[in-house]
Amino acid sequence: MREIIDDLHRQIQEKLKELKRFQEKRSEMENREELEKYEQEVTSQTDELAGLIVGLKLQETVASEEIREKAKQLVKSQPKRMKNQGLREVEVKVGRGAAVRIKSEYYSGKSDGRKRRGRGFYPALVLLGIYEGCTPSLAQEISAMAVLLGSFEEAHQVLLNRGVKIDVKTVRAISYRTAQRARLWQESEQFQLGENLTGRRVVISSDGGRIRIRKTKRGQKTKKGRSRYSTHWREPKVMIIYTVTQKGEMDRAYAPFIDGTLKGPDALFGLLEYYLSELNICSADKIVFIADGAPWIWQRLPKLCKSLGLQKDQVFEMVDFYHVVEHLGKVAALRKSWKSSERKRWVKHQRKLLLKGQVSEVIAAIDELCRGRSGKAISRERNYFFKNIHRLNYAHHLAIGLPIGSGAVESAIRRVVNLRIKGPGIFWLRENAEAMLMMRSFYKAGRWNLFTKMAFAPSLPLAA
């Protein structure tokens, strides 16, 4: 390692001399183009210097006794026995400047019997959060660009303009693996959120979106050697946990928790249980579950509350008011003899009754309208109100300062799913959609720092 350290010292000194000559060089700028060119040259020079300094510090850290001892402990903690393969030279991409080459001890598993060794890793680099040959700073920037912009191609272009020479395939791979590590670390139950909801008024809501999943077909490939595939619509389910003020308005001082999955309702409620348990939901002042009338949500709620140890007087269940009004419109549409103005007048009247707390009168009006009529549509709308009658007490909820709409989760679906994952001609492999869904959720919730803490923790070496 000594020779690499000495070589980096030499390169740093040469770069400093070069910067000194560049500074002393007379250069008068007469227009915008010349200023822009000069600034780009200065940035390029300083970026190279920054990369060399980071590389030097990285090599010195990897060579230190302290980090080597910690690396040995990390190797011992692995589920499989690992063998030290000695020092190996490895390239590390840094946030500024060109990639640097350093030496670090490499460990790998036993041979699988076909003269191939098991997957290996550099424990010292893992301890420093270096996966996929990228420093945490660079990997975070790459992932953030992939999440924030409309496509991986756009992220690649922005990074290229910034001086990060990395191809689209690598941008995609780094982003996906970063999310996969974060989820695995979360599922290991070793990571603590470090927050709680004590004394807060908490609103919990969930809903589903729509994206297209790509599935490879068996059989002959295309003339270009590509696999044929089919696409199917799937519903990513999204949850949000946020707090409200005494007036029922979202508390902007407390960042919400947003997450989602394509693995179905049980998996989503598993996520909900994880977050609510970590946040000590039992200590909250009031807990409100708001959603539309989807049975998959309300059927699983009692089990969730029991698992979390919630008391009945803590929990309020509510069907989104605006979904209910929409269903009132569907009920009014059953009266074919009514004019459009009559339907609107009926819906408006029932809406006012709901807000006044006169739920029984609304149910009676619906029952009267549907009596003597048959058909799936009539039965479905009638049952919607009868099944959710205990979730329609909006007057009481408004009186104690609780929200009555699920606009927060609908906004989350739009920002997380519709504006990045869903779109014409966009198809995803399921595991990649899961990764993007998690990253986008944390980013839009304002909890990117929490996401990166999970992604770059010294956990199992997935892709070191």
Question: Which tokens in the block code for residue 70?
Answer: 């910690």
How confident is the model over 101-132, as pLDDT tens digits?
A: 999 999 988 655 554 545 788 999 999 999 88
Q: Is 182 left (phi over 0), alpha (psi -120 to 50) or beta?
A: alpha
The full DSSP string for 304-328 is HHHHHT--GGGEEEEE-HHHHHHHH
pLDDT at residue 461, as a whole number: 42
pLDDT at residue 373, as a whole number: 64
**Size (the chain), residues:** 464
Q: What is the pTM of this model?
A: 0.89
107 and 85 in contact (C-beta within 8 Å)? yes
Q: In Å, how far are 11, 28, 33, 38, 39 from 24, measured between CA atoms?
A: 20, 12, 21, 13, 15
Q: What do you get for the CA distance between the two ends of the chain, in Å?
A: 20
pLDDT at residue 369, as a whole number: 81
Question: Which tokens in the block code for residue 198?
Answer: 């004590």
pLDDT at residue 312, as a whole number: 84
CA distance 342 to 360: 22
DSSP-derived 3-state class of residue 439: helix
Closest CA to 54 of 13, 95, 7: 95
At which residue do the structure tokens 């060579």 appear?
A: 63
Q: In Å, how far are 204, 240, 317, 387 from 313, measured between CA atoms?
A: 16, 22, 11, 20
- Residue 124's CB is within 10 A of a number of other CB atoms, namely 25
At which residue do the structure tokens 């839009």 appear?
A: 444
How confident is the model over 16-38, as pLDDT tens digits?
A: 999 988 888 777 788 888 888 88
CA distance 198 to 278: 12
CA distance 402 to 251: 12
Average pLDDT value over all residues in the chain: 90
Higher-confidence residue of 313 and 370: namely 313
How confident is the model over 421-450, as pLDDT tens digits?
A: 998 889 999 999 999 999 999 999 999 999
CA distance 270 to 285: 23
Alpha helices in 64-212 (DSSP H): 65-76, 123-127, 136-148, 152-161, 168-187
pLDDT at residue 305, as a whole number: 95
pLDDT at residue 463, as a whole number: 39
DSSP-derived 3-state class of residue 336: coil
pLDDT at 136 over 60: yes
- Long-range contacts from 330-339, C-beta under 8 angstroms, 24+ separation: 330/377, 330/381, 331/366, 331/369, 331/370, 331/381, 331/382, 331/385, 332/369, 334/369, 334/370, 334/373, 334/377, 334/378, 334/381, 335/369
How confident is the model over 272-283, as pLDDT tens digits?
A: 999 999 999 999
- Residue 48's CB is within 10 A of a number of other CB atoms, namely 19
CA distance 267 to 287: 21
DSSP E strands, 228-381: 229-234, 237-244, 257-261, 286-291, 315-319
